[in-house]
């Protein structure tokens, strides 16, 4: 098992929350709440207004495509200017987009072209906010506190993942999708207000050079850190064998055995596992984070194996809970190590390359899993993907840099 040093004194956590990081924590929590609500509120609002699933697919794709296209540009901008400014502007812009969507729906003027156009703007803004969010944390806390603050951020993220969709669905059902999106807009305004309390950047001003040159320099930093490349490739392979099978085959198999409620229970129990470990992780320090994160991360293969071997909701739920524990440790250790080891002036660009290359496999996974299941069987594909998950989770340990890196 991984080496764990327990931190028994809770004072550091209190001190962190009372420091400038506390404002970031508050703003990020509200921001996450808005994001988790938007995902559900927008989907239900579009379906409520149009009655067509195809419209929802177009709106969601319109938001995703510009995020992927502009992510590297967003990372470059976050390394060139104040990340605090990027966060304030991006949250204000998202609030404006959500308010515009809300107005369209409240006035009963739904139009697919208008909604898709606003979704494009929202996706473009997200491409700038994500690298800034990942890059600003080392500006706010000391290096030795990175694992702890990332655990705190994970706990808030996992809490709002449980509560946000619930609140959004209630708002859509009671007052309508437009007002639910209006509530989302308000949350982004509150997040922007919290981010105004963050200190300005203390980084030296970036050298004036073309944007494309910064992109090339960021790629050079990314490629020069072999352990970053190895881990990013591993995450891409993990997403390829996990996201599609879990999101497509999981509900198909479990709901086929136990109905839609069974799959809902699985997702809820999984979210609880994510939340529990993020709370526990505040109190522990992993001295070899990449090695330990990979070992814990193998637990996230269990839900896929459970889907393939039984498909019974209660067994899959138990596996999802344990998998959530491992997935949380893997995510926290990776984020903390990246923030601690990558030069601060390049962090947002390296994070953007990591995010883009890790996520590019997701749509391919979602497209491929259906045809594969049609040929080989849903449960058989789930088992194969679960075994593959175990293998690709451990592959990075072949690298000495990954095994031995300490914080």
Rounded CA-CA distance 23/6 in Å is: 26
17 domain-assigned: yes
Residue 309, CA atoms < 13 Å, CB-side half-sphere: 12
79 and 108 within one domain: yes
- Residues 246-276, buried b or exposed e (16+ Cβ, 10 A)? bebbbbbbbbeebeeebbebbbebbbbbbbb
Domain around 231: 218-407
The CA distance from 148 to 49, in Å, is 43
**Which residue, of 149, 174, 206, is where some domain finishes?**
206
Hey, is 271 helix, strand or coil?
helix
> What is the model's pLDDT at position 4?
43
For 131, residues 6+ apart whose C-beta sits below 8 A from its C-beta are: 71, 74, 75, 77, 78, 79, 348, 349, 351, 352, 355
- Strand bridging mode 4-6 / 284-286: antiparallel
Residue with tokens 């073309």: 210
Residue 374 shares a structural domain with residue 351: yes
What is the sign, positive or negative, of the torsion defined by CA atoms of 21, 27, 30, 33? negative
Do 242 and 310 lie in one domain? The reply is yes
Q: Cite the DSSP H helix spans in 51-111.
A: 53-80, 83-106
Distance (Å, whole) CA 122 – CA 303 = 33
Split the chain (407 residues) into runs of 10 and give each run's mean pLDDT: 43 76 91 79 78 74 85 90 92 94 89 91 92 89 85 87 76 80 90 90 62 87 92 94 85 76 78 88 82 93 94 91 93 90 89 88 80 89 95 93 80
Asked if residue 240 and residue 200 are part of one domain, the reply reads: no
Residue 212 lies in a domain: no
236 and 269 together in one domain: yes
CA 48 centroid distance within chain: 27
Is residue 255 domain-shared with residue 180, that is, in the same domain?
no
Q: The domain spanning residue 337 has which CATH number?
A: 1.20.1250.20
44, 172 contact by CB (below 8 A): yes
Coil/strand/helix, residue 45: helix
Instruction: Give the closest residue to 294 by CA, choosing from 388, 404, 385, 396.
Output: 396
Last residue of a domain, one of 206, 240, 263: 206
| Whether 51 and 147 share a structural domain | yes
Q: What's the confidence (pLDDT) of residue 8?
A: 41
Q: What is the DSSP letter of 346?
A: G
Q: Is the dihedral of CA 304, 306, 312, 313 positive or negative?
A: negative
Do residues 92 and 188 touch, judged by C-beta distance below 8 A?
A: yes
Same domain assignment for residues 312 and 369: yes
Q: Assign 312 to helix, strand or coil.
A: coil
Q: Do 117 and 260 reside in the same domain of the chain?
A: no
Model pLDDT, residue 20: 86
- Of 206, 234, 269, which residue constitutes the final position of a domain? 206
- What is the enclosing helix (H) or strand (E) of 376? helix 361-376
What does the angle CA 122 – CA 125 – CA 126 come to, to the nearest 5 degrees? 85
Give the E-state strand segments of 255-389 in sequence order. Answer: 284-286
Q: What is the pLDDT of residue 46?
A: 80
Asked whether residue 248 falls in the same domain as residue 195, the answer is no
Per the structure, the count of domains in the chain is 2
* Phi and psi, residue 5, nearest 5°: -105, 120
Residues 143 and 276 in one domain: no
Q: Are residues 33 and 142 in the same domain?
A: yes
343: helix, coil or strand?
Answer: coil
Structure tokens at 196: 């105004």
């Amino acid at each position: 098992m991984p080496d764990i040093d327990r931190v028994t004194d809770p004072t550091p956590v209190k001190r962190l929350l009372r420091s400038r990081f506390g404002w970031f924590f508050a703003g990020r929590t509200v921001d996450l709440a808005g994001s988790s609500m938007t995902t559900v509120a927008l989907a239900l609002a579009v379906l409520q207004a149009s009655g067509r699933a195809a419209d929802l697919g177009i709106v969601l794709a319109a938001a995703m495509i510009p995020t992927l296209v502009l992510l590297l540009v967003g990372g470059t901008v976050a390394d060139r200017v104040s990340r605090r400014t990027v966060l304030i502007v991006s949250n204000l812009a998202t609030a404006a987009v959500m308010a515009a969507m809300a107005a369209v729906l409240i006035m009963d003027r739904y139009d697919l072209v208008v909604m898709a156009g606003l979704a494009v703007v929202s996706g473009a803004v997200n491409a700038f906010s994500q690298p800034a969010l990942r890059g600003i944390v080392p500006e706010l806390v000391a290096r030795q506190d990175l694992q702890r603050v990332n655990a705190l951020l994970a706990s808030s993220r996992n809490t709002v993942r449980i509560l946000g969709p619930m609140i959004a669905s209630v708002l859509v059902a009671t007052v309508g999708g437009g007002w639910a999106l209006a509530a989302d807009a308000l949350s982004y305004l509150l997040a922007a207000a919290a981010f105004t309390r963050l200190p300005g950047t203390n980084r030296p001003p970036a050298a004036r050079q073309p944007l494309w040159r910064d992109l090339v320099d960021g790629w050079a930093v990314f490629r020069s850190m072999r352990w970053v490349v190895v881990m990013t490739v591993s995450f891409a392979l993990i997403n390829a064998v996990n996201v599609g099978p879990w999101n497509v085959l999981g509900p198909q198999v479990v709901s086929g055995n136990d109905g839609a409620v069974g799959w809902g229970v699985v997702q809820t129990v999984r979210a609880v596992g994510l939340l529990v470990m993020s709370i526990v992780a505040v109190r522990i320090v992993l001295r070899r984070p990449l090695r330990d994160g990979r070992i814990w991360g193998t637990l996230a293969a269990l839900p896929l194996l459970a889907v393939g071997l039984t498909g019974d909701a209660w067994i899959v739920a138990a596996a999802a809970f344990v998998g959530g524990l491992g997935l949380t440790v893997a995510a926290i250790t990776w984020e903390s190590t990246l923030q601690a080891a990558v030069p601060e002036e390049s962090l947002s660009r390296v994070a953007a390359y990591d995010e883009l290359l890790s996520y590019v496999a997701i749509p391919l996974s979602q497209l491929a899993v259906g045809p594969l299941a049609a040929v080989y069987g849903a449960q058989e594909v789930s088992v194969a993907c679960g075994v593959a998950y175990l293998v690709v989770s451990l592959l990075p340990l072949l690298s000495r840099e990954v095994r031995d890196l300490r914080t």
